[in-house]
Structures are given as structure tokens and as C-alpha cells.
């Protein structure tokens, strides 16, 4: 219990208790890779897509029961309830309302796990530090740093915060979805980097951190594009290559990749009106022939 800070369950005064939690998504990663010191990293980009979790706990006789269609969120609930000592006489139902597509590289499973924790926090009246949330998630899968309000540089394998960048680029994203789903766990198992690519990531990491420090959205978009270019050295993805070759003709600032997903995004300034953004989305859809959607970055720091 001490490991999780001052966690204390509220006294159960009702037969039925309900808690709610929510989490934003991340559109892939501004950059993702591995440095020459073997540190894996990614930089998140909070976006205005959400996972909202509803937890209903009902008193019942017998062993504890947890009902959920999403195994990872169920695992989170098991860990927390075990720490709270809630092991019997309750049935927990976990459900979600979400605007985040699943399996597309938009951090849907991390958002679901985080919204589950936040619903449990409301239900039982405790708080977990982001570092503790990370320690739970890393036992389940590689994950994004959505527990922080800003863009962060994060080791998704070890669940370690490398740098809180204290800034979120002010951008719109027109996303292209190539279809299908990607299993992030299997994707991460297959990653291999040459020494030359590791050195390229060293440089890109430093360049991106500086761009965030200067709050230079255009430079951040260039760094995101460079991350895609490096990724294409080994992946040789023809569809992503076509987008890379075409983005300047669409007046985009750059491209953001879902490195372990099915989407890629064209980056535009947030100064675009809804009409202008819709017009550009129609052009993107017509050019590439795949489903599109638009979203925007989310600034919770103000």
C-alpha cells in the first residue's frame, strides 16, 4: 500500500457506487526512436480525442468480479483493487465512451487504462502520482505518457519520464487512416536500429527538445517529419512515402507519424478556420483515396 502513496478507500455506504474518469489521446508521436545509449523515447502530442470510463460497483456476496471488454483496463482495475484490499463482495463493471479509434496508433489503450484509474480514484477517493501510474502501466504494455498535461519525452518501455516539455504545439492535424489495426506490443518486439540510425536519433532528439524550448511549432513539425523519414529507412512503407513526397504540395507544415499505428497526419497551424481545414481535408482525401479525419492539439496548461 505504501508504494501507492496514501491510498484509502471510502466507506461503502451505498449498495451501488459509480465513478467517472477521462483521458485525452496522443496522435502518434512527434518523434519516436532510440538513442545511442539504448534509451527508447517518444514525444507525445495531446489531442482533442477522449476516452471516458464509467465504473459501477455493486455489493454482492462472494468473490470479487470485474467485468470489462478491454483486458488491459481490467488488469489495471485488478492491480488497484488488490492494493486497496477490495477482494470480495463487490462486482465492478467497466464501460467506455470514446472518440479515439482503436488500434490506430492514437494511444487508445493507454487512454483507456488512464481513464480507468481516474474513475477508480473518484470512486475510492485517492490520488496517484504520474510516476506511480507509469509503474502500473509498464507491467502491462509499452505505453504513452498521457498522465502528464503537456507534451513529454517518455520512455514507453520502462515507463520513465525523460523530460516534461511544458508545452504543447498549437496545431491542427488532418489524419489519413490506411485501415486495419496494429498491435503495439508486437510492433515494439520487432524494433531494431543500426548504429547509424541511433546517431540520427541522437541528433533529432536534441533538435526536437530545443524546438520545444523555443516553442517553435514550425520547427517541431519539421522534426516530426524527420522522424518519419528515419522510420522509412527500415520500414519502406510505400503509402507513407507517398504522403511524405506530397505534403508540401498540400501546404502542410510537416507530417506526424503513428509509428505503431495505421494513421499519418498532415500538420497545419491552428490559425486555420474550420472552413479552411475542411477544404484541405477534402483535398487530402481526394489525393490519397483513404478515409480522413481532423483533430487538434490540446493545451491544458493555461
User: Could you give the count of Cα atoms lying within 13 Å of 58 in the half-sphere of its Cβ?
Assistant: 8
CA distances from 213 to 26, 42, 163, 169, 220 (A): 20, 16, 11, 11, 10
Residue 91, C-alpha cell as written in the block: 462486482
User: CATH for 2-296?
Assistant: 3.30.230.120
Pairing of strands 65-67, 88-98: parallel
**Residue 11 confidence (pLDDT):** 39
221 burial via Cβ count (<10 Å: 0-12, 13-18, 19+):
buried
Q: How far apart are the first and last CA of the chain?
A: 34
Mean pLDDT of the chain: 91
Q: What are the residue ranges of helices labelled H in 10-107?
A: 71-84
**Residue 189 confidence (pLDDT):** 63
Is the pTM higher than 0.85? yes
> Could you give the percent of the chain with pLDDT greater than 90?
82
C-beta of residue 54 within 8 angstroms of C-beta of residue 97: yes
pLDDT one-digit tens code per residue, 228-286: 999 998 877 889 999 999 999 999 999 999 988 899 999 999 999 999 999 999 999 99
> Could you give the percent of the chain with pLDDT greater than 70?
92
**Residue 259 confidence (pLDDT):** 86
Distance CA 217, CA 222 (A): 9
Q: Which among 32, 29, 30, 37 has a CA at the least distance from the CA of 199?
A: 37
Of 7-11, 78-82, 180-184, highest mean pLDDT: 78-82
Distance CA 57, CA 75 (A): 16
Confidence of residue 97 (pLDDT cuts 50, 70, 90): very high
**Residue 186 confidence (pLDDT):** 65
C-beta of residue 183 within 8 angstroms of C-beta of residue 103: yes
Confidence of residue 299 (pLDDT cuts 50, 70, 90): confident
Distance CA 198, CA 259 (A): 16
pLDDT one-digit tens code per residue, 19-40: 999 999 999 999 999 999 999 9
Residue 101, C-alpha cell as written in the block: 479509434
Distance CA 121, CA 66 (A): 16
Q: Which among 70, 47, 66, 48 has a CA at the least distance from the CA of 56?
A: 66
**Residue 187 confidence (pLDDT):** 63
- Assign 167 to helix, strand or coil: coil
**Residue 184 confidence (pLDDT):** 62
**Residue 15 confidence (pLDDT):** 75
Query: How many residues are there in the chain?
Result: 302
User: Taking 50 as the threshold, does the pLDDT of residue 1 lie above it?
Assistant: no
**Residue 234 confidence (pLDDT):** 81
Residue 176, C-alpha cell as written in the block: 489519413
Cβ neighbour number for residue 164 with a 10 Å cutoff: 15
Q: Where are the domains of the chain?
A: 2-296
Mean pLDDT of 144-166: 97
**Residue 260 confidence (pLDDT):** 82
pLDDT one-digit tens code per residue, 174-215: 999 998 876 666 666 667 789 999 999 999 999 999 999 999
Amino acid at each position: 500500500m505504501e508504494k501507492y502513496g496514501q491510498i484509502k478507500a471510502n466507506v461503502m455506504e451505498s449498495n451501488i457506487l459509480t465513478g467517472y474518469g477521462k483521458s485525452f489521446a496522443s496522435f502518434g508521436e512527434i518523434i519516436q526512436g532510440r538513442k545511442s545509449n539504448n534509451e527508447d523515447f517518444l514525444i507525445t502530442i495531446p489531442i482533442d480525442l477522449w476516452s471516458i470510463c464509467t465504473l459501477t460497483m455493486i455489493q454482492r456476496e462472494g468473490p470479487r468480479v470485474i467485468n470489462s471488454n478491454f483486458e488491459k483496463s481490467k488488469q489495471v482495475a485488478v492491480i488497484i483493487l488488490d492494493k486497496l484490499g477490495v477482494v470480495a463482495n463487490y462486482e465492478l463493471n467497466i464501460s467506455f465512451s470514446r472518440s479515439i479509434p482503436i488500434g490506430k496508433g492514437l494511444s487508445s489503450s493507454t487512454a483507456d487504462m488512464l481513464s480507468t484509474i481516474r474513475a477508480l480514484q473518484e470512486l475510492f477517493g485517492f490520488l496517484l502520482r504520474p510516476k506511480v501510474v507509469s509503474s502500473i502501466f509498464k507491467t502491462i504494455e509499452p505505453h504513452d505518457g498521457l498522465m502528464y498535461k503537456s507534451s513529454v519525452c517518455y520512455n514507453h518501455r520502462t515507463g520513465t519520464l525523460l523530460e516534461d516539455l511544458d508545452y504543447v504545439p498549437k496545431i491542427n492535424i488532418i489524419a489519413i487512416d490506411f485501415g486495419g489495426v496494429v498491435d503495439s506490443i508486437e510492433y515494439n518486439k520487432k524494433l531494431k536500429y543500426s548504429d547509424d540510425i541511433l546517431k540520427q536519433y541522437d541528433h533529432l532528439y536534441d533538435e526536437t527538445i530545443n524546438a520545444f524550448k523555443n516553442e517553435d511549432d514550425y520547427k517541431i513539425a519539421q522534426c516530426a517529419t524527420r522522424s518519419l523519414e528515419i522510420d522509412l529507412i527500415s520500414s519502406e512503407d510505400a503509402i507513407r512515402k507517398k504522403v511524405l513526397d506530397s505534403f508540401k504540395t498540400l501546404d502542410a507544415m510537416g507530417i506526424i507519424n503513428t509509428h505503431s499505428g495505421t494513421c499519418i497526419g498532415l500538420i497545419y497551424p491552428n490559425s486555420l478556420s474550420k472552413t479552411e481545414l475542411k477544404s484541405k481535408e477534402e483535398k487530402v482525401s481526394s489525393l490519397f483515396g483513404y478515409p480522413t479525419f481532423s483533430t487538434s492539439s490540446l493545451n491544458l496548461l493555461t
